[in-house]
Chains A and B, each alone.
Chain A
């Protein structure tokens, strides 16, 4: 383990990005319970955040930010399960409720009060659809929690490499229209001293990336264009240096769109958490 950590560190010195997780240990709720501690916040990682290689980088960025701000947090680790969101949107309420009730049982056993998550789909489901099944928590999207941490003086954000850069924000449907949060991500971009530019369709009028409603897991129906291509064109029209996202699925869709347009060398697609972590060289 030690050697592995050292190796990672060497890579980090060269790249200054995507440092490994060797600097601190992310604990699970089970670890904490065994140690007799109750963490203040549960970091709900989500399926993409746990398994998708690209999304894992976002997960690590969030963990580093929480660690940096001295937030007492833990994950569920192998006790976490799908929230059931894609099942519910696909129409399988049985499977959704089974997943939800199992998750609620686990979380209630750990007396979870506050949850932060990097996935707007998990966020929406945990926040809005779990209460009817006995799961009542304060649920925050990571951009909301980071905004709170800055407001409380627990975290300071400087522009770093993004200072003055043109950054646009792609609103995830389940954060924006779904839950009315348009400001937190934008406030954070402004904290980076970046130039926040809006696509022609933004906020309430933002265009979906094409992944929601369980579309992520199937081929698109017959049409003349992919939704993510349509959305990428909105971004290309304003030529930002970075398309900021707040959802691992949007991130995938936009990254694919930019690749397809052969613009990967000009436009980066990054989660707000990654921008903040990179700016602070975490």
Chain B
């Protein structure tokens, strides 16, 4: 009975902390301005199924994709077991679903194989990050916290899965000894290899091990859910809405600024009829996170810092300061900062995303080639943010490299980026 109360209390605390954090994240995302959704829902669902659920873009890098698939399937399927653990905890039962018969043993067997694959995946990922030191995990923006964040998650996953397997091994021995409550689950595929290591323990010690692992597992999962919201691992949830809301039109197409359209129309014809767009922002371009759209902010929270974008960025590969991943990490960091200031009633306009986080030099290194958006396994669009920041620099602050100013003047005066006369455009036909 006491165990049940403790369990319910823990569940409540964990749930409450997670809920509070998720509200914080949601509010931060909704700091972004609203944006009209183009296209139809069917296409959006399709993208989500293909890219997020189907992991479609992961497989361009097959090795990482296979091990990631282990973790992904493990996460999705083993969580069925968590339902039983929670019900057991609340109701004070033991293996509530065991009654369903042979299928139960089959399921537990399948979970064990997945748990084992998750451990393999995590070990491989730890090696890739810390031993092989794959370049994209070690760029400039991968400072202490982003690196620790990745390792914490991987180690926690290994610990949780090990506890799950050890718990089953202890249970098998206890069941074989005929200890009350403990159920026979047949020959389990993975935990049977742990059994020999536990054979020497007394039944009392085994019960303690089994109970410890059970509590460790469920408390670990609750802690994990709360931790998620502080971590880059939020992608396991946000990948789904993020792909759903990702852009449907060709990657080359940049958004049309309707607030500019109206001004240009009036400039060309003062009597022109213009329709005010209710969603049009007051500023031209973005200076801070609140000037970005909520989809762009959702992008930032969905980024798991894998660095595929940066590893294919032509600017980054040739030693320039720009890293598309840093654009997303900066956006998220600034969003968290603004969120905290808002909660504490503090002023936050002394800093901004543009300038304090993302610099002029980074923005101007972009070739708008879309390699980053193509590479992102969850359809994040760093280019969109880069363009919005450039728009602010250009249209609100008249800041651009000198040669760009010359180019723009040429376009304005001669209708070409170079200083050639428009009248000469057809000269080639006579040459």
The answer to whether B429 and A221 have CB atoms under 8 Å apart is: no
B261 touches A97 (CB 8 A): yes
Assuming the contacts A91-B387, A94-B260, A210-B314, asked whether A21 and B254 have C-beta atoms less than 8 A apart, the reply is no
In the complex, the answer to whether B416 meets A50 with C-beta atoms within 8 Å is yes
Chain A residues lying within 8 Å of B427, measured Cβ to Cβ, are 50
B415 at the interface (CB under 8 A from A): yes
Contact between chains at B407 and A208 (CB < 8 Å): no
Q: Please measure, in the bound complex, the distance between the C-alpha atom of A97 and the C-alpha atom of B263, giving whole angstroms.
A: 10
**Which chain A residue shows the least CB distance to B362?**
A221
Return the chain A residue nearest B363 by Cβ.
Answer: A91
Whether A128 sits at the interface, judged by CB under 8 Å, is: yes
Q: Are A225 and B319 in contact (CB under 8 A)?
A: yes
With CB as the reference atom, state the residue of chain A lying closest to B258.
Answer: A132
B403 A219 Cβ-Cβ under 8 A: yes
A133 to B255, CA, bound (A): 12
Question: With A21-B429, A91-B394, A128-B249 as given contacts, are A221 and B415 in contact (CB-CB < 8 Å)?
Answer: no
Contacting residue for B390 out of A90, A215, A231, CB 8 A: A90
Say whether A174 contacts B252, CB under 8 Å.
yes
**B319 surroundings in chain A (CB, below 8 A):** 222-225
Residue in contact with B371 in the complex, picked from A50, A78, A207, CB distance below 8 Å: A207
In the bound complex, what is the Cα–Cα distance between A98 and B406 (angstroms)? 17
**Complex CA–CA separation, A180 to B404 (angstroms):** 29
Least CB separation from A81: chain B residue: B415
Tell which of B251, B265, B424 has the most Cβ of chain A within 10 Å: B251
Whether the Cβ atoms of A205 and B430 lie closer than 8 Å is no
- The CA-CA distance from A82 to B312 in the complex, in Å, is 30
CB-CB under 8 A for A92 and B320, given A177-B251, A218-B403:
no
Chain A 182-219 interface mask (CB, 8 Å, partner B; 1/0): 00000000000000000000001101101111111111
> In whole Å, how far is B94's beta carbon from the nearest beta carbon of chain A?
52
0/1 string, B370-406, CB within 8 A of A gives 1: 1101100000000000010111111100001101101
Is A77 an interface residue, CB under 8 A from the partner?
A: yes
Is there a chain B Cβ closer than 8 Å to A59's Cβ? yes
When C-beta atoms are compared, the residue in chain B nearest to A226 turns out to be B318
| Whole-angstrom CA separation of A50 from B417 in the bound complex | 12
Identify which of A59, A129, A220 contacts B254 (C-beta below 8 A): A129
Q: Which residues of A contact B365 (CB under 8 A)?
A: 220-221, 223
Q: Are A128 and B367 in contact (CB under 8 A)?
A: no
Per the 8 Å Cβ criterion, residues 267-304 of B in contact with A are: 267-268, 284-285
Nearest Cβ in chain B — how far from A47, in angstroms? 4
Interface pair A177/B371, CB less than 8 Å apart? yes
User: Is the C-beta of A93 less than 8 angstroms from some C-beta in chain B?
Assistant: yes
Residues of B within 8 A of A99 (CB): 411, 415
B431 within 8 A of A: yes
B264 & A98 in contact (Cβ 8 Å cutoff): yes
B416 touches A47 (CB 8 A): yes
Chain B CB within 8 A of A45 CB: yes
Closest Cβ–Cβ distance, residue A241 to chain B (whole Å): 25
Cβ B314 vs Cβ A221 within 8 A: no
- Flag whether A170 is at the interface (Cβ < 8 A): no
Residues of A within 8 A of B423 (CB): 78
On whether the beta carbons of B252 and A213 are closer than 8 Å, the reply is no
Task: Check A93/B369 contact, CB under 8 A, given A124-B250, A129-B253, A217-B404.
Answer: no
Contacts of B395 in A (CB 8 A): 91-94
For residue B366, CB closer than 8 A to chain A, the reply is yes
B90 at the interface (CB under 8 A from A): no
Give the most central of A91, A102, A220, A230: most B CB within 10 Å.
Answer: A91
Q: Contact between A97 and B264 (Cβ–Cβ < 8 Å)?
A: yes
Within B93-124, which residues are at the interface with A (CB < 8 Å)?
Answer: none
Q: Choose among A28, A92, A223 the residue that contacts B426 (Cβ–Cβ < 8 A).
A: A28
Answer whether residue B143 sits at the interface, using C-beta atoms and an 8 A cutoff. no
Residues of B within 8 A of A82 (CB): 411, 415-417
Q: Using an 8 Å CB-CB cutoff, how does the interface string of A1-36 with B read, 1 for contact, 0 for none?
A: 000000000000000000011000110100000000
Would you call B55 an interface residue if the criterion is a C-beta within 8 Å of the partner chain's C-beta atoms? no
Tell yes or no: B428 within 8 A of A by CB: yes
Per-residue B-contact encoding for A52-70, CB less than 8 Å = 1, 0 else: 0000100110010000000
Question: Once bound together, how far apart are the Cα atoms of A226 and B256, in whole Å?
Answer: 31
Q: How many Å lie between the Cα of A262 and that of B318 in the bound state?
A: 20
B321's contact among A101, A208, A222, by CB below 8 Å, is which?
Answer: A222
A14→B366 CA distance, assembly (Å): 45
Q: A97-B261, A97-B264 are in contact. Are A77 and B417 (CB under 8 A)?
A: no
Q: How far is the CA of A99 from the CA of B413 in the complex (A)?
A: 11
- A92–B392 Cα distance when bound, in Å, is 9
Q: Indicate which residue in A78, A88, A94, A218 contacts B263 across the interface (CB closer than 8 Å).
A: A94
Docked-complex contact A77 and B391, CB < 8 angstroms:
no
A56 nearest CB across to chain B (Å): 5
- B-chain residues with CB within 8 Å of residue A217 when the two chains form the complex: 403-404, 406-407, 417
Please name 18 further chain A to chain B contacts, defined as beta carbons within 8 Å, in addition to the given A78-B425, A178-B370, A220-B320, sorted by A numbering: A21-B428, A50-B420, A82-B416, A84-B411, A92-B391, A93-B395, A97-B261, A124-B250, A173-B368, A178-B251, A210-B314, A211-B367, A213-B367, A213-B368, A215-B367, A225-B317, A225-B319, A227-B317
Can you identify 14 A-B contacts, CB atoms within 8 angstroms? A20-B431, A50-B428, A51-B418, A87-B411, A90-B390, A92-B400, A93-B257, A97-B260, A124-B250, A173-B367, A177-B370, A211-B367, A218-B364, A221-B361
Q: Which 9 pairs, one residue from A and one from B, show the smallest C-beta to C-beta distance? A: A178-B252, A213-B368, A224-B319, A91-B390, A81-B415, A77-B426, A91-B394, A223-B319, A208-B369
